[in-house]
Amino acid sequence: MIKNNSLIEVVNCRDRVRTAWREFAAAETFAGRTLAEFEADTLAVVQAREQLDTARSKQSGLIRAREQADKEFRDLLDLVINSVRGNHAYGADSSLYRALGYVPRSERASGLTRKRKGEENTNQISQKENDAA
């Protein structure tokens, strides 16, 4: 009857048994239970799944609320950081700016790199060897 113990299969099986029992033998007892007792005993199957669906919906809503709160936080954080940078008493080269997790202007690397004379030739030779292979 239940080939796969998936969520849908269990509920469908319960519904199929209830429908058949009600249609063909509503007054009979099976396994010491009436149809009403069977429905009451198996109600937990449906309720557990409904609770899971509700929890998943709530989780989805909470995730969306968290994402929105994170966006609002990042926007506010940008305002605060930019305000610290623009403040004459502190600025982008202050200890407060560093404590906030940013690199002060005086500690930044220039980004300028100079190749030595031998490095450029070595790279060209390596490239030619790779092309030949």
Q: How far is CA 4 from the centre of its chain?
A: 28
Specify the length of the chain in residues.
133
Mean pLDDT in residue range 11-31: 91
Count structural domains, the chain: 1
Residue 126 domain-assigned (yes or no): no
Mean pLDDT in residue range 52-57: 94
Phi, psi angle pair for 30, to nearest 5°: -130, 135
Question: What is the extent of the structural domain holding 13?
Answer: 3-104
Give me the pLDDT at residue 7, please: 65
Residue 84 domain-assigned (yes or no): yes
Residue 123 domain-assigned (yes or no): no
Residue 80 domain-assigned (yes or no): yes
Phi-psi region for residue 31, left (φ > 0), alpha (ψ -120 to 50) or beta? Answer: left
Give me the pLDDT at residue 116, please: 83
CB atoms within 10 A of CB 102: 16
Q: State pLDDT tens for residues 98-124.
A: 999 999 988 888 878 888 887 665 555
Residue 111 domain-assigned (yes or no): no
Handedness of CA 77, 80, 82, 84 (dihedral sign): negative
| DSSP bridge pairs for 30 | 33
Strand, coil or helix: 33:
strand
Instruction: Please state, for a pLDDT cut of 90, what percent of the chain lies above it.
Output: 59
Give me the pLDDT at residue 122, please: 56
Mean pLDDT in residue range 12-25: 92
Give me the pLDDT at residue 51, please: 94
Residue 22 domain-assigned (yes or no): yes
Q: State pLDDT tens for residues 81-94.
A: 999 999 999 999 99
Query: CB of 45 within 8 A of CB of 14?
Result: yes
